[in-house]
Amino acid sequence: MLRSVSTVIGYALREGLRRRVFLAVLLLSLGFLALYGVGAHFAFRDAGGFAEGEAKILDPKAFTGATIFGMAMFTTLFLGSVLAVFLTLGIVRGDAESGLLQPLVVRPIGRTTLMLSRYLAAAGLAAAYVLAVYGAALAITWQAGHWAPDHLLGPALALALAVAIVAALSLLVSTFLSVTAQGIVVFMVYGAGLTAGLLAQIGHAINSATLHSIGHTASWVLPFEGLYAASLHALISNTSGLTGVVLQLGPFGGSEAASPGLIIWAFIYTAGVLAIAAAAFSRRDL
């Protein structure tokens, strides 16, 4: 069993390597990080005199660092989600339609093990990618402005779990839809989740309970959004005073700390999505 799992994971990794997926991702990520580095440098430099003479009631370093690093996290989640979706693209129906799946499925490994192994490869890679980009962005932010978030590890792990959820959803959709439809549906679901998060921010800013509850519900229906909001919150959870208030008016508005319930729910949700995908795959005629 373990041998089969490691074989399929190795197969998925070699595929990514040979198809130059990793090379393309590496180059694009380096481009993003270079751009982020330039942006961070000028943002910290130009915000240095921000709120000067106001008795330092606003901490420009914290304000600038949290704002640009929050944006970096948004991009990191997006890039990690794109990677998760592409690594799970056509894994079931697409590969079955092209005839790639059948020679593997008839082997004794079994459908569930095959599917879960491919999920582990995709989710593991996407999560590792998110952690690496997060770490690089963190290092760049520190180098540019000597600012670090209030919590270092929590937000990174929340983002990694978020892309693992996106990978699970993408896998589930791949059991029912062909490649193009799968990509469209997963990105629409992803966009819907982020839009719900945006509505929660607006709701927080204008004090609308309805909008806030929409965002809250979305974070449970699509927990990757809840985890992203929680990771944003963890960046500034200890930041108080005017700086904290001003940040809450921006992209951090409406973000909540990750409750143990959300983390547990995220794991249950992922397991549930994978169980449904495995059940659908096991019943599917190929």
108 contributes a contact to another protein by CB under 8 A: yes
Is residue 147 within 8 Å of 235, Cβ to Cβ? no
Site string for another protein, 61-100 (x = CB under 8 A): -------------------------------------xxx
Q: How far is the CB of 111 from another protein (least distance, A)?
A: 9
**Nearest residue (CB) to another protein, 19 versus 146:** 19
283 contributes a contact to another protein by CB under 8 A: yes
Question: What gap in Å lies between CA 224 and CA 190, rounded to an integer?
Answer: 9
Q: How far is the CB of 130 from another protein (least distance, A)?
A: 25
**Nearest residue (CB) to another protein, 24 versus 100:** 100
Site string for another protein, 13-32 (x = CB under 8 A): -xx--xx-------------
7 contributes a contact to another protein by CB under 8 A: yes
Residues of span 219-278 touching another protein by CB under 8 A: none
285 contributes a contact to another protein by CB under 8 A: yes
Q: How far is the CB of 98 from another protein (least distance, A)?
A: 5
**Nearest residue (CB) to another protein, 240 versus 282:** 282
State the amino acid at position 45 in one-letter form.
Answer: R
**Nearest residue (CB) to another protein, 23 versus 34:** 23
Q: Per the structure block, which two tokens stand in for 100?
A: 């790639």
Number of H helices, E strands in the chain: 12, 0
146 contributes a contact to another protein by CB under 8 A: no
4 contributes a contact to another protein by CB under 8 A: yes
State the amino acid at position 183 in one-letter form.
Answer: G
179 contributes a contact to another protein by CB under 8 A: no
Q: Where are the alpha helices (DSSP H) in the chain?
A: 2-18, 21-46, 60-87, 93-98, 102-105, 111-145, 153-174, 179-205, 209-221, 223-236, 241-249, 260-283
**Nearest residue (CB) to another protein, 103 versus 260:** 103
Dump the DSSP string for 127-166: HHHHHHHHHHHHHHHHHHH----S-SHHHHHHHHHHHHHH
Question: What gap in Å lies between CA 198 and CA 254, rounded to an integer?
Answer: 9
Question: What gap in Å lies between CA 3 and CA 1, rounded to an integer?
Answer: 5
**Nearest residue (CB) to another protein, 11 versus 74:** 11
Question: What gap in Å lies between CA 278 and CA 232, rounded to an integer?
Answer: 33
53 contributes a contact to another protein by CB under 8 A: no
Question: What gap in Å lies between CA 232 and CA 142, rounded to an integer?
Answer: 17
Is residue 190 within 8 Å of 84, Cβ to Cβ? no
Q: Which of 31, 48, 110, 191 binds another protein (CB under 8 A)?
A: 110
**Nearest residue (CB) to another protein, 234 versus 278:** 278
Q: Which helix (H) or strand (E) holds 169?
A: helix 153-174
Q: Which residues bind another protein (CB under 8 A)?
A: 3-4, 7-8, 11, 14-15, 18-19, 98-100, 102-110, 283, 285-286
